[in-house]
Structure 1
Amino acid sequence: MSNRSIVPSFGLMFLSAALLSGCGDPAELPAATATQRDFVAIAKGKIDVEGGVIRLAAQREGLIQAVFVEEGDRVKKGQVLAQIDTRQAELGVAQARADLGEAQARHGIAAARLQAAEREAKRLADLAATKAVPVQDADKARDEARVQRGELATAAAAIAVAREKLKRELFEIEARRIRAPLDGRIVRRSAKPGDGASTFNVTELFLLAPESDRIVRAELDEQFVSNVRPGQRARILLDYDGKQAFAGQVLRLGEVFGARKLANDDPNERQDMRVIEMVVSVRDSQALRIGQRVQVQVLK
C-alpha cells in the first residue's frame, strides 16, 4: 500500500475519533452534516408515535348525529368526539325506566300484602293458642304469609332485572358516543353529520395521534444489522431536505426479517432486500409530522 493511501485513512480515523469524543451524552448530540462519514448504517423510515396512530370507529352502526371536533384539535381522554343517532336507544331507555317503575310498584304491593299476612298469622296463632279459633285457621294464615314472602322475593328479583335492563339501554346510548381513548390530537376527521357508520365494514371516523414523543420506524437492511444495537446515537434527516437534521437514539430492533414496505426510488438498489424494523427516538420532534419520510444515519 502506498503512503498516499495510508495518510487519508489516518486522517479519516482522526476525524471520526474527534467527532465521537466531542459528542458527549447521546441527548446532546449535535445535528452534524450528512457529508461526514461518521455513520455505520443508513435506513429510510417514517415519523410515527409509540403505539401508532389510533383509528377510531363507532361501536354501533347508524347515522352520525353530530361531530364535535375538527382536524388539528387537541382532545382529552374520554372527550366526546362524535355521536351516532340515539333516538332508538332513547326509546329503549324510556321503556326500561317504565318497566323499573312497574316492578317497584309491584314490590310495594307485595310488601304490603306480606305485612298484612304476617299480622293475620300472628293474630290467629294467638287465638289458636287459647283455642278461640281452630288450629287449622292459624296454619292456613301462616302458609299465606309464607306465600306472600315468596311474592315479595319475586318482586325484588323483578326490580333487579329491570335495573339491569335499564343499564343495558343506557349503555346503548353511551355506545353511540365516540370518545377519545387517550389524550392526543385529531390528525384526520372522516366523520360528517348525516353520514352512515358501519360496524360490518368498519367505518373509520377519526385518526388520533397520541400525545407522546415522535419516533422513527425505519427499515434497516440486512447488511447493516450487525452494525447497530440499541443505545447508539442516530441522525435523522428529512427526506426532502438533507440539510435539516435531528438528533436521536436507537431504541430497539425487530426480531424478524421481512419484505421492504417503504417505496424506494433508487433503481440500483435490490427490491427484494430483507429488512428489520428499527425504532429510533427523536429529540425536538415537535416540527415533525406523522408519516413524514426521513433518513436515519446510525452513528459509530
Structure 2
Amino acid sequence: MLAACNDRPAAGAAASAPAPASAALAASAPGTGHGAVAEDGSAGSHPGASPLAVARGRIEVQGGLLRLSPLQDGQVDALLVQEGQAVRRGQLLLRLSGTAAQAETGVAQAELQLAEARVSARSQHLPALRRTAARLAEASAAGAAEPQRADDAAQALRDAEAELAVARAEAGVARQRLAQVRGQQARLELRAPEDGTVVRVATQVGQRLLAAAGDHAPLTLLPRRPLLVRAEVNESYAGALRAGLRATVTTDGDATPLALPAARVVRISPVLGTARLQEDAQRGPLRVVECVLEFDHPPTDARPGQTVRVVFHR
C-alpha cells in the first residue's frame, strides 16, 4: 500500500488512520505530484520495484557551470567566441590589451641577447688564457720564465673564469626575467580550461574587466561533463534514503513530461537546507535534504537547469 502525503484521507478510510511507516518515502517538493507518493503508481514505474515516493529535482552538470575571468585587470582587445559556440580545451576565448606587456617583452628579450653576447665574448678568451697560463707554468717550473709571469697568467685566467661565471648568471637572470614577462603576457589571455560550450558572453571589445569578477564573469562555460540530478527530500523522511536507491526521472514543466534514463542515488547531503524547488510558497519554507542521482547512461533530451520529477523505488 502506498501512503499519500497530500493530507487527504484515502477513500473508504478514516482521516485519522495512520499510514504504515514502511509504506512510502515522502518527497520534499510540494504541489501536485510532489511531496506525495504517486497515487496510481504508474508515473515513473520501474520494472521489478514498487514506487516509494516522488520528489522534485533539477538537472545539473557535474561540478556546475564555469565562470571565467582573466587573471588580471584590463581592457578587452579581442573577443573570439559567442554564445552557443563549442570550444576545446586551451582555445583562446578572450584577449586583453597588451601594449605595455609587449614593450616589456621587447626590453627583456634585448637584455637577454646582451647577456648572452657577454657570455659568448668571455668564453672565446678562455682557451687562449688557459694555453698561456699552462705554457708559463711549465716554463717557470723549468726555470725558463720568471715565476711572476706564470702567477700573473694564472691570475688572469682566474679573473676571466670569474667574469664568465658572472656573465652566465646575468644571462640566467635575463632569461628568467623574459619568462616572467611572457607569463604576465599570457595572463592577458583567457583560454578554455576544458571542452565545453559557451553559454553566456557578458562583455564586449573595449570594456574594462576586473580579475575578481565573481558572479559578473565575462564568460560562462558549460563543461562537457556528465549530467546529474539534485533532488530535495523532506527532512522527516531523509532517513529512508540510501546510496544505490533506484529512481526514474521525467521532465517537469508546462510541456508534456518526457521520460529520461533511469538513475540511482550516489550521494546524500549530511546537512539540512531550505527547499529551492518549492511550488507553493504559501506553505512556508520546507527543510530538506539534498541527494544527488547519476543517470545509468547520458540523457539526450535533458538540459542543465531543467526541473524534473524523481520517483524513488524500493
Using the size of structure 2 for normalisation, the TM-score is 0.78
Rounded Cα–Cα distance in structure 1 between residues aligned with 2:113 and 2:66: 42
Distance 1:175 1:35, change over 3 A: closer
TM-score, structure 1 as length reference:
0.81
Judged with a 3 Å threshold, the aligned counterparts in structure 2 of structure 1 residues 118 and 299 are, in CA distance, closer, same or farther, namely same
Unaligned runs of 5+ in 2: 1-10, 14-40
Give the 3-state SS of the residue equivalent to 1:178 in structure 2.
strand
Deviations 1:149-196 (A, max 9, x none): 111111111111111111111112222111111111111122321111
> Which amino acid in structure 2 is aligned with residue 116 of structure 1?
A
The answer on whether the counterparts of 2:58 and 2:231 sit within 8 Å (CA) in structure 1 is yes
- Return the match for 2:273 from 256, 259, 276: 259
* Deviation for aligned residue 1:224: 2.7
Q: 1:248 aligns with which of 262, 274, 285?
A: 262
Number of aligned pairs?
272
Paired residues for 1:169-208 under 5 Å: 169-202=181-214, 203-208=216-221
Cα distance change, pair 76–33 in 1 and its aligned pair in 2 (3 A): farther
State the percentage of identical aligned residues: 30
The aligned residue for residue 141 of structure 1 is 153
Deviations 1:131-155 (A, max 9, x none): 3331011111101101111111111
Q: Spell out, residue by residue over 1:199-237, the C-alpha distance to the aligned partner (whole angstroms, 9 max, x if none).
A: 244451211112123211122211232333222222223
Q: Which has the higher helix share?
A: 1
Equivalent residue in structure 2 for 1:152, among 151, 156, 164: 164
Contact 1:96–1:162 (Cα < 8 Å) also in 2: yes
Check the 8 A contact 2:246/2:265 in 1, yes or no.
no
SS in 2 for 1:60: coil
**Which of residues 85, 98, 109 is equivalent to 2:121?**
109
Contact 2:69 2:213 in 1 (8 A): no
Query: For 1:74-96, what per-residue CA distance to the aligned partner results, in whole angstroms no more than 9, with x for missing partners?
Result: 11111111111122221121111
The match for 2:252 is 239
Find the aligned partners of 2:265 and 2:91 in 1 and give their Cα distance: 32
What is the CA-CA distance between 1:61 and the residue it aligns to? 1.3
Letter of the 1:113 partner, please give it: H
Q: Give, as a single letter, the amino acid of the residue that structure 2 aligns with 1:187.
A: V
Q: Which runs of 5+ in 1 are unaligned?
A: 7-31
